[in-house]
Chain A
Amino acid sequence: MYTEKVMDHFTNPRNVGEIENAKGIGEIGNAKCGDIMRIYLDVEDNIIKDIKFKTFGCGAAIATSSVTTEMVKGKTIEEALKLTNKAVAEELGGLPPAKMHCSNLAADALHKAIEDYMNKNAL
């Protein structure tokens, strides 16, 4: 059902946890199945220095959270804003059709965290 890459991120998720005094926090609840994802950002000189996540959801939700953090760590805010759900799913080697909505969760939570950062810093 899941690709090897999904299972790898599910069993060894990268960047799990929280950041104290995070510069931006984004939380998204999945309207479809009721899952929740939260992303914490540390930003310095417009670069995502650190990123952590916490997810309550299925295997796909955990794997997409994990791979999303990996994809944007060290990137600029502008680059991170360009990340799409499609890119996340592709990076994982694809997701089962019924699980595509889970990849929205991660990209949306990331964008929300960036928005929060921008608001806090009046950007």
Chain B
Amino acid sequence: MRKVYLDHSATTPVRSEVAQVVTEYYTNIFGNPSSVHSFGREARKGIENAREQVANLINGKPEEIIFTSGGTEADNMAIIGSALANKNKGKHIITTAIEHHAVLDSCKYLEKEGFKVTYLPVDSEGMIDLETLKANITEETILITIMHVNNEVGTILPIKEVGAIAKERGILFHVDAVQSYGKLPIDVNEMNIDMLSASGHKIYGVKGVGCLYLRRGVKLHPIMFGGAQERKRRPGTENVPGIVGFGLASELAGQEMEMENQRLTVLRDKLITGILENIPCTQLNGHRTQRLPGNVNISFEFIEGESLLLMLDLKGIAASSGSACTSGSLDPSHVLMAMGLCHEIAHGSLRLTLGRDNTEEDIDYVLEVLPEIVERLRAMSPLYNNRDKHRNHREECSICTLRK
């Protein structure tokens, strides 16, 4: 059976160049980078080289890169660390309603510690409004944390504009760039970014490694204690193989970005158009143009996402969904709900995220099998028959759930 992996926003395969160098650093260059001997020095060289590769991709300085165990740790360090370090200046943080849980739950923690957090609303395409952002800034605001690309719907947020506002008001600006790092151009200086989180496993590196970009002079209260690694900001013996692989993956991503984005945009648009034109009662979630090249997120009315994923899996296609039934929490995706989608539309959402290994044949295959699957599930759905009656019901419910 044909296997088609369309879940690159969840994780990516490790590319062969990276796998090779990672293996080398697991076996031959295995020293502890803190050791004085040649084994240690060799490992240290690998880390410092990776630091340069990462810094180059975002126009930062190598000494501004702190390697972490991934995006989640970088988000926690940046948000909790900078809030605690600046709590004497104020206790207000601004973020958005559609952040990843690594950001949202860090903010929730700070709320328990007495901070006030504003969750900016988004419109139906997942976009924030800059005027609303400005209106919410107070004397107490010490941190703005906003993601670059949303992981579910792929909307690209206006980070550069937010950076300019933050700079003008003298507020720290953190960006969760886990879904954009290595995929979209980022310049921490031009965008006035003080802190930025990135992750290795989204760009064909290994899992469990990432980094925080921390602008020189920005203070962080430590959230981990121990050795002197990463200038004491992230104690613990470094994940050398992971870091070296992350460095190489970053450099290669930078080299291939433009070409790869052109290719993915064509495939993405073919997939979106193919679905919307051939399957009735479907809608695109997220922004039509301000969208990550590899992201497709579509809702299929009258069916539920998990059963759709199971059916696709039986055909060898790997995807994900924002349905309540797949979330584990029994609530549909907070991102789709924040965009004002009706509960049932969020329920029938399907996310397909493309990557390096996908070809036009993959897209053709999905477009070939998907209509049958949707038809089969709809035939089973009690919502499908009295479609017109249901339509009215839907309008009502979308009004009532809109930005609640």
Contact = CB atoms under 8 A, between A and B. Distances in A.
B314 A35 contact: no
A27 B304 CA distance: 17
Interface stretch (B70-78, B196-204, B321-329): B321-329
Contacts of B326: 58
Contacts of B303: 56
A94 interface: no
Contacts of B330: 32-33, 98, 101
A47 B303 CA distance: 32
A32 B328 CA distance: 11
A62 interface: yes
Interface residues of A, number: 25
Given A33-B324, A34-B332, A98-B328, A54 B380 contact: yes
A120 B297 CA distance: 45
Nearest to A1: B310
Given A34-B332, A34-B343, A56 B383 contact: yes
A80 B191 CA distance: 66
Interface string A96-120: 0010010000000000000000000
Interface of A: 2, 7, 10-11, 13, 16, 18, 27, 32-38, 54-59, 61-62, 98, 101
Contacts of A35: 304, 325, 347
A56 to B, nearest CB: 5
A54 B306 contact: no
Given A55-B382, A57-B307, A59-B306, 7 more contacts: A13-B380, A16-B379, A32-B330, A54-B380, A57-B304, A61-B304, A62-B380
Contacts of B331: 33
A33 B325 contact: yes
Contact of A54 (B323, B328, B381): B381
Given A16-B379, A16-B380, A55-B380, A10 B343 contact: no
A20 to B, nearest CB: 12
Given A34-B344, A54-B380, A98-B328, A59 B385 contact: no
A27 B325 CA distance: 19
B381 A55 contact: yes
Contacts of A37: 382
Contacts of B379: 16
B213 interface: no
Nearest to A2: B310
What range describes how many residues of B lie at the interface? 20 to 34
A10 B343 CA distance: 23
A117 B306 CA distance: 32
Contact of A38 (B314, B347, B382): B382
Contact of A56 (B310, B314, B332, B381): B381
A56 B382 CA distance: 6
A36 B382 contact: yes
Given A34-B324, A34-B347, A58 B381 contact: no
Nearest to A16: B380
Nearest to A96: B328
B324 A10 contact: no
A9 to B, nearest CB: 12
B302 interface: yes
**Nearest 10 Cβ contacts at the A-B interface:** A58-B325, A54-B382, A33-B324, A58-B306, A38-B382, A56-B381, A33-B330, A59-B310, A32-B330, A34-B343
B307 A62 contact: yes
A10 B344 contact: no
A120 B383 CA distance: 24
18 contacts: A7-B310, A32-B330, A33-B324, A33-B325, A33-B330, A34-B324, A34-B347, A35-B304, A36-B383, A37-B382, A54-B380, A54-B382, A55-B382, A57-B304, A58-B304, A61-B325, A98-B328, A101-B330
B325 A57 contact: yes
A62 B306 CA distance: 11
Contacts of B310: 2, 7, 10, 59
Nearest to B344: A34
B176 to A, nearest CB: 27
A18 B310 CA distance: 24
A58 B307 contact: yes
Given A32-B330, A33-B324, A59 B382 contact: no
